[in-house]
Structure 1
Amino acid sequence: MDMVLFSNLSLDETLRGAARKMVARLENWEANSLLGTPVADVIDELMDIGSVDCPRLHRDQAWQEDPVEDVERRGHHPYRVERRFTKFILVVPFSGNRSVLDLRTSKHTGSYPYVEKMREQEIWVSAVGDGKSASTVEAELNAAVDKVEMYLGWAREEIERHNGQLQAELPEMVERRRAKLLADRNLQAAIGYPIRRRADADTYAVPIQRRAIRPQRGHRQSAAPFVPEPVMAEADYRAALAVLRTSRNGLERSPRLAAKLNEEEIRDFLLFNLNNNFEGAAAGEVFNGDGKTDILIRVEDRNIFIGECKVWKGPKTMDEAFDQLFGYLVWRDTKAAILLFIRSANVTDAIRKAVAKIKAHPNYKRPAPPPAEGEHAFVMHAKDDPEREIHLALLPFALRPPRATT
């Protein structure tokens, strides 16, 4: 029996209902969990609830079922008339939300598409073949699919407008809700009675001066009460990357000097420039070296900035960098940088391979805005915890090979 598409509930009202569910999820999100979940992940989850994936027909993958003989009966006994005929069936796969094919669009012709049947991700259209040429049957099958496509086009207009509005408004909605919850926490802290906290509760962002890296509170995903953790403010992170970038540019413009320096000496040069621009509130230098390759900011035995200096020796170099990077006890919102010293001729190829290794890593989450044009940034997550994010910048250094010592 034929099915009528795009003729049931209103698509517009269904989209509004999805938006209401999304808002309800945000408003009822457990406070500690919302404050502790990365904003990008919150937005992704809410978009999954509030948005709709409009179906797309894959006509290039269409195929025919075997012809089916059917019987049409008219009248009543003893005057019933039967007519036997053959139907030719075209099966067209589709992807996307199946329920959209049942929803009534704002635009319509008054004549809705019919299909022979609809399975989970397929529509079946048919045409009667008796007494018709192959081209005529093919044209009727194509016309049936075209009509579905026309209504899908109207549905897609509504859905894309709806999804686009959600995408534009969600960041502000989430920040407004988080700000309300944080304000409630601050008000609670200002009331004279003590707040019961876990033993490891209050931690904070790094106070650094000269260019002062200001206190900023990070968030933790947990069913336990929300607690702040030490983080490096985004503006300070970008400022530190700018110092590293300037130092890198100076080395690249002084190839004779760069050729005289080994990796540890370059690391010390970078540390010198960083500590010339940043100063800890309690002690002088805030950036410190650990071993031959690391540039760190450490607070309460936690590394909140990690710079890994690596000499490019092929893609395996990135594996070594990751082993060291994720070997640290990493807090969510930790800032990191891989400073890649490329002393080979093909710098572009090395950068391309390094980026590919990062994106292929199991801890990779998504790209991030790059610190500068031509550079690369990513969001990774800590070992076994996708909620604890690491902001990772890749800073390539195009350097001459070091001179052999005599």
Structure 2
Amino acid sequence: MARRHKPVDFLAQLEENLRQALRRCEESPSDQVRADPGAVIAGLCAEFELEPIEFDFDSVTRSSVEETPVWDFQGGVNTELHGQLIWFRYPFRGSAPLLRHAARTSHGGWTGNDVHDGYVEVNLRGHQLDQPSITRFLESKRVEIERFVSAPNETARQYNERLYVQVENLITKRKRNLDHIAGLDAELTVPLFPADPARRVDIPLARTEVRIVDRDDRREPSLGQDIYEDVLRTLTSFGLAMERLPLTAGKLQEPEIRDLALFVLNANYEGAAAGEVFHGAGKTDIRLTYRDRDAFIAEFKYWDGPKSVAGALDQVCSYTVWRNTKSALVVLVRDVKATTVIAGIDFTIKGHRQFQSVDKPISVEEPGAYVLRSNSDPDRLISLAVIAVVVPRPTRVVEAGAAAKT
């Protein structure tokens, strides 16, 4: 009744599944391997294990009874009789490819085409079927299935044991090597050469002085464009650093991420007088205030649909600002495709009631540049840079995707 499945080389597929698991061991983030190797091992084994077969005999279903010809040998003569046909589906949990392979390679009455994703289909046909004969058939089929699954489940047990041993061995070796590297790095007296500027978040000994430009004419003060661009580079590098440390970053909420960014900014910049130039306000924002007005505003928000960005824009536009205030919106992305979020951010900003113009739409690779109007005065414009930061989840305990589970 159901579609047929093409034969596949299950054993070769199983070996490829194991190779993928070992490749993932090498690709697992180093901070996760060092901090919690047991969780990495458990996550990889759960993803690539071969799930044993378990039938649910209490949930068997059937088709309608159909008319079908049956043949009977009576007195040496093959006689066609009017008969009945019923299909039964036995649901199961576990690896369908494993059960299908066992059916194809066994010498029983099953074939690989009897096994489908999530159920096995068998039929009963006969002349003058009745309830007692159907009950006997179902009871005998249950005994047959319970006996049959013991062999594929032993295959699953042996493979899973092999998978665990090899994954544990490789992760343990990586952790040992990473711990050695960390210790060696700490012991060496030779200075480190600088990281690539694109990946660096500098903590300088001499901090850059932030000056608010006072105009000689009637124009109002503003944060210098060169300093603004440098602040944006620092925030972008800070975001890249978070992406490379998913185990650490994944535990942080918006206020904690704001506080870390505040630490980095104040380590890089200082005001005309010594001391902090940037300060926190509320739970998720950073502000640089000059003469009781904000010259720079930064907001940190996890993406939770367009409403999260709209709320951040409302907040930015509500501050008391100079005529040319600079701002940044850092959107933290988790468990959503980055391209989906990028499109949502751009659409939400352009649809906001205080939207003025766009200089450069946001993309996956680069921040966007937009202009908003202040709530208090439409002539006071706010330059808005939008930075998307992907915050990966640490390795999960259970994930779909193993080849032998499909």
Please state which band the TM-score falls in when normalised by the shorter chain: 0.3 to 0.5
Answer with 1 or 2: which has the greater Rg. 2
TM-score, normalization by structure 2: 0.44
TM-score, normalization by structure 1: 0.44
